[in-house]
């Protein structure tokens, strides 16, 4: 199940954007973050897919959600401009960004290709 992140959670679990200039992931396994808003139609369509995949990969990938209306500082620091924005984060290396709705098969293909699962 996807976990909602507050600013405090994000700084501890993902990236301390307040103090670090260069990307430095704080997690110990890959993560996927869904940046969404409750009023966003494509975000609502993505939500059940995101939850389904979070259960399928619960033992290997951390799934997080960030409400961009509530956590504007995180969205700004990451550079979120359109919704939904999905951030695929490897343990080492730079994250991959996907903007817009993803069908389940396309979402899973990115997981397989990017993370090797």
**Tokens read off for 51:** 């939850």
- Contact (CB, 8 A) for 26 and 16: yes
- Catalytic site residue 43? yes
Q: Catalytic residue, from 43, 49, 66, 74: name it.
A: 43
Pairwise CA distance, residues 50 & 40, whole Å: 15
Residue at token pair 């939500």: 47
Count each helix (H run) and each strand (E run) in the chain, helices first.
4, 5
Q: Catalytic residue, from 2, 31, 33, 40: name it.
A: 40
- Catalytic site residue 15? no
Catalytic residues: 40, 43
């Amino acid at each position: 199940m996807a976990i909602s992140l507050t600013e405090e959670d994000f700084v501890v679990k993902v990236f301390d954007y307040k103090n670090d200039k260069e990307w430095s992931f704080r997690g110990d396994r890959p993560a996927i973050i869904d940046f969404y808003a409750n009023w966003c139609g494509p975000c609502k369509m993505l939500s059940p897919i995101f939850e389904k995949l979070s259960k399928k990969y619960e033992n290997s990938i951390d799934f997080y959600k960030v409400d961009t209306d509530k956590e504007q500082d995180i969205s700004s620091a990451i550079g979120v401009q359109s919704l939904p924005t999905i951030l695929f984060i490897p343990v080492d290396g730079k994250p991959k960004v996907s903007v817009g709705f993803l069908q389940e098969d396309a979402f899973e293909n990115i997981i397989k290709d990017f993370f090797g699962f």
